[in-house]
Amino acid sequence: MRLNAPTVIAGATLIVGLIFHQSHLWIPATVLAAGLIDLSTRRWVASKDAGKWPTASTFLKFVCALISFYATVGQVACLVLIPVWFLA
């Protein structure tokens, strides 16, 4: 399985947060989950295949694209979270 940046950054942030008993661990945990969902659905979301039910397929692709967007934005939040933990 390939890794993507949100998965690596969120995983590292989650590990650092767990080791140092930091708060707000839900942020890297949800970004990690979104990154894993993005890894497993990216090829399908990018394809033009709609299948038997194009409306449902389009809606599910939209939901998966939103999850991917959350993973992308969330990696920035994880990068900001580490200095906040140790400077505050």
Query: What does the alpha-carbon distance between residue 45 and residue 4 come to, in Å, rounded to a whole number?
Result: 16
Task: Give buried/exposed letters for 44-82 (b at 16+ CB in 10 A, else e).
Answer: eeeeeeeeeeeeeeeeebeebeebbebbbebbebbeebb
In tens, the pLDDT along 3-30 reads 899 999 999 999 999 999 999 999 999 9
Residue 39 has pLDDT above 90, yes or no: yes
In tens, the pLDDT along 41-79 reads 999 999 998 889 999 999 999 999 999 999 999 999 999
Structural domain boundaries in the chain: 5-87
pTM to 2 decimals?
0.91
Q: Look at the block and give the residue holding tokens 């389009």.
A: 58
